[in-house]
Structure 1
Amino acid sequence: MTTMQQTISPVDGSVYVTRPHASQTEIQQALTLAERAQKNWAGTDLAERQAICAKAVEWFEAHQAEIGLEISWQMGRPVRYAKGEVAGLAERARYMIAASETALAPVTLPDKPGFTRYIRREPVGVVAVIAPWNYPYLTAVNSIVPALLAGNSVILKHSAQTPLCAERLKAAFDAAGLPEGVFQFLHLSHDDTTALIQSTQISHVAFTGSVPAGAHVEQAVAGRFIGVGLELGGKDPAYIREDADLDAAVETAIDGAFFNSGQSCCGIERIYVHASVYDTFVEKAVAIVNQYTLGRSDDPDTTLGPLVRASAADFVRGQIAEAVAQGAVAHIDEKNFPLSKAGTPYLAPQILTQVDHSMRVMHEESFGPVVGIMKVSSDEEAIALMNDSDFGLTASIFTQDIDTGITLGEQLETGTFFMNRCDYLDPALAWTGVKQSGRGFTLSVLGFEALTRPKSFHIKTLG
């Protein structure tokens, strides 16, 4: 019996997409096809792989408006911002297409009389990509495009909240002329996803999601000796030094906290502000947040959409209520955001002060439109608090003293250090995390390493 998955839109609670889960026969057919297609694909010239990926990007750009609207209805991002994800996909994909020339080139060694020596980078085989709903294309493209460029085939399992994204990726690669079987998607249950990545025909797993789910992926493939990339949670901090350009710092950090309704892996969830500028920072931050318009994602005037589902909003409501009961001060009046109601995905943004690290809102990932702001008296105090976390995806410092900022950044336990910016992935830099934010990395020339295996050639010249 075929089971079905439903995508409930956070916009109005309607069923937006219904899709059948793949059957066991369909799963095995996909694996067999991917394995067979990969062998031929690996033999194509890199230039051909690059050209096909570039054409897929052009397809996305031609369909930007409709894709943006689909994102809004599936996961709730305001339509005025949603189509920007296509621009981000294009930026990352085009960088990786260009970088593949260098990243996939053989490693040459100094001459050694009588010998020829070099190292080739060969594809690992069939790559399983498990993608989340919050940035459904940006998270997926990080692994899919370099995997294909490296000569692998890909099977994508996308979130049940954003199934159309998997289908649009397939349409783009089909239109670009990618050979059959090189890129496929499957709509799967959790149990069948586990079975997929346990298959001996899968050679690498790229996963983006929660810490518990990441632990499950690791356990599922234990003993198979295959590569696993895990991009997991975050509780990313920002520090506003006393010499910061305050207007720029407030605008940047607050946007980093509330964009996408706070549903960003690298969104700012904790802010530490030097005592000398603390009051002014909080005042300016509250003014910005009070200008947000909470509304339906398909309304072009909306600047803050609903969370992905009511349970996610209620989780954040619980964090806020608990913090206030413990002495935190809430600065945003929920009455100014009339759509915000318990039991719905619509949640008013919130700024909390008088917070500390005993409160869940300061150490447990929120993934919603709330940020706690703490006063600090020194760089040393700020760094200690920023590092006091189970996570380490990104961290930001706002300062006009670049040299001191870099020195402080070197002390932070994080995968990416930002100065005077936040919440952005530069495709030329490795995207990685420490602690419970995961392991492995994507993007940059280094991102190809997990998707290839080195093969050494050691040739003795005769005669």
Structure 2
Amino acid sequence: MTKTIQCISPVDGRVYAERPCLSMPEAEAMAARARAAQPGWAARPLAERIALVQAGVAKLNEMKPVLVEELAWQMGRPTRYGGEFGGVNDRTAYMSEIAAQALAPMVVEASDSFERRIEREPVGVVFVLAPWNYPYLTSINTIVPALIAGNTVVLKHASQTLLVGERLAEAFHAGGVPEDVFQNVVLDHATTEALIGARAFNFVNFTGSVGGGAAMERAAAGSFTGLGLELGGKDPGYVMDDADLDAAVDSLMDGAMYNAGQCCCGIERIYVHESLYDAFVEKAVAWVKGLRLGNPFEEATTIGPMANKRFAQVVRDQIADAITDGATALIDPALFPEDDGGAYLAPQILVNVNHEMRVMREESFGPVVGIMAVKDDEEAIAAMNDSPYGLTCSIWTRDAARAAAVGARVETGTVFMNRCDYLDPALCWTGCKDTGRGGSLSVLGYYSVTRPKSYHLKKVTK
């Protein structure tokens, strides 16, 4: 019997989409087609590959009204935010712009006697396992540089966003990328792991949970398949004594609550200098009370349901445990139309928290944030580093030198000053500790999907 994957809509709990999984023989044939198509794709001029990728993204933009509605049904994001097209377009444009430079040979010598250089060669077949929270943006991070660099790409999307992979394939094929060069697939876990173990792919990029990343490493063990892993996060914000308080509240609370808190680099814990703590908390509570939880298709809705009721339950449990252990919840859930045990979850601010509580240590990935007072930079640095994760940190101050000095001591992938929850395509998107390994975007993003090849050409025989 054919196994199927279902997307349960968080909006109303119904089965919104259902697709059959490929059998193992079908999956092996798919991988073989991707491998066979790769040399011909890589042989095309770089400018042609760039043009075809850009055409595919242009076709995706033409589908925007449909895609925004589908996203709301699949993972609950309010339609008022218009999808992810700004980031998709910016990242595609930047990676296209720097491609020639990033992929250019590194010439060591070009003389009458020797030609010595290092070239970047595509790895071959790139397998992208994409998450549901930013399903277009996170996919584009790898798909665009992988295709431009001359690889073929196989995309497996999360079950919660089944239709996204289909839409990406539809757009890229309409833009002229051959079907075997970019394939969207539906696979179960066992088939996925078997393909990785059998060296069906040359590079695997996975964005998801720490447990999922560990499963990828186990599947690839002994195969020497390259892995890029963006896993969990528990990103901190630190508000220094000289911060612009209103700006800090507005950005950090948006970073904590946007997309119902379901952001890889969302703010999940905030440390505020004791001199600003009371004022920050008061303003943060007022900010959250201004949110409107509801149907993502209504224009007034600013926070929709979480993507799945089981994700919401994780957050409910963390909040309940924290309160039992002495935390104080500052937002009355009665202000928001929660559904009991469902995907609609009221946002919450917790104070009187500590690092013994799950909500301050484990990834929440939901609309909750804990706020603690600190007396100085040393205490803030220790608190920010007291985490198994390291994706981003957000530092609020008027002193760039101080921010850089503190940031240098924080175990993280990106240091932000006076902003948060943002991805700059010119900078490498990376993390440390249990957040994973590898990097995407920037010039370094091309290095993930290529390998160095050295040429030592002696032009004389004596």
Range into which the TM-score falls when normalised by the shorter chain: over 0.9
2:173, 2:351 → 1: CA distance? Answer: 51
What amino acid does structure 1 have at the position aligned with 2:133? N
Structure 2 residue 24 is the aligned partner of structure 1 residue 63: no
Structure 2 residue ranges without an equivalent (≥5): none
TM-score (norm 2): 0.98
What amino acid does structure 2 have at the position aligned with 1:252? S
What residue is the counterpart of 2:323 in the other structure? 324
Task: Kindly indicate whether the alpha-carbon contact (under 8 Å) linking 1:240 and 1:399 is maintained by their aligned counterparts in 2.
Answer: yes
Q: 1:416 aligns with which of 414, 419, 426?
A: 414
What amino acid does structure 2 have at the position aligned with 1:151? G
Structure 2 residue 450 is the aligned partner of structure 1 residue 452: yes
Map 1:187-226 → 2, pairs under 5 A: 187-226=186-225
Deviations 1:186-244 (A, max 9, x none): 11111111122223231110000000110110111011112100000000000001100
Of residues 213-222 and 193-202 in structure 1, the stretch that sits farther from structure 2 once superposed is 193-202
Map 1:218-297 → 2, pairs under 5 A: 218-297=217-296
Question: 1:158 Cα shift?
Answer: 0.4
1:342, 1:394 → 2: CA distance? Answer: 33
Superposed CA RMSD in Å reads 1.0
Deviations 1:425-462 (A, max 9, x none): 00000000000000000000100101111111101112
Question: 1:113 Cα shift?
Answer: 5.5
Task: Kindly indicate whether the alpha-carbon contact (under 8 Å) linking 1:61 and 1:87 is maintained by their aligned counterparts in 2.
Answer: no
1:379, 1:9 → 2: CA distance? Answer: 44
Map 1:393-404 → 2, pairs under 5 A: 393-404=391-402
What residue is the counterpart of 2:87 in the other structure? 88
Q: Secondary structure at the match of 1:389?
A: coil
Q: 1:360 aligns with which of 358, 361, 377?
A: 358
Task: Kindly indicate whether the alpha-carbon contact (under 8 Å) linking 1:105 and 1:120 is maintained by their aligned counterparts in 2.
Answer: yes
What residue is the counterpart of 1:341 in the other structure? 339
1:319, 1:345 → 2: CA distance? Answer: 15
2:289, 2:194 → 1: CA distance? Answer: 47
Deviations 1:235-259 (A, max 9, x none): 0000001100000000000000000
Please list every run of at least 4 consecutive aligned residues from structure 1 whose deviation after the TM superposition is greater than 4 angstroms. Answer: none
2:109, 2:44 → 1: CA distance? Answer: 28
Question: 1:342 Cα shift?
Answer: 2.9
Deviations 1:403-435 (A, max 9, x none): 111111111110000000000000000000000
TM-score (norm 1): 0.98
Of residues 381-390 and 195-204 in structure 1, the stretch that sits farther from structure 2 once superposed is 195-204
Deviations 1:313-341 (A, max 9, x none): 11101100110111111000000012x13
Question: 1:110 Cα shift?
Answer: 3.7
Q: 1:431 aligns with which of 417, 429, 432?
A: 429
2:355, 2:167 → 1: CA distance? Answer: 42
1:180, 1:333 → 2: CA distance? Answer: 52
Task: Kindly indicate whether the alpha-carbon contact (under 8 Å) linking 1:150 and 1:448 is maintained by their aligned counterparts in 2.
Answer: yes
Fraction of identical pairs, as percent: 56
2:375, 2:245 → 1: CA distance? Answer: 17
Q: 1:350 aligns with which of 348, 351, 366?
A: 348
Question: 1:111 Cα shift?
Answer: 4.3
What amino acid does structure 1 have at the position aligned with 2:237? A
Q: Secondary structure at the match of 1:276?
A: coil
Task: Kindly indicate whether the alpha-carbon contact (under 8 Å) linking 1:157 and 1:193 is maintained by their aligned counterparts in 2.
Answer: no
What residue is the counterpart of 1:36 in the other structure? 36
Equivalenced residues, count: 461
Structure 1 residue ranges without an equivalent (≥5): none
Question: 1:112 Cα shift?
Answer: 5.3
Q: Secondary structure at the match of 2:173?
A: helix
1:106, 1:248 → 2: CA distance? Answer: 44
Question: 1:363 Cα shift?
Answer: 0.4
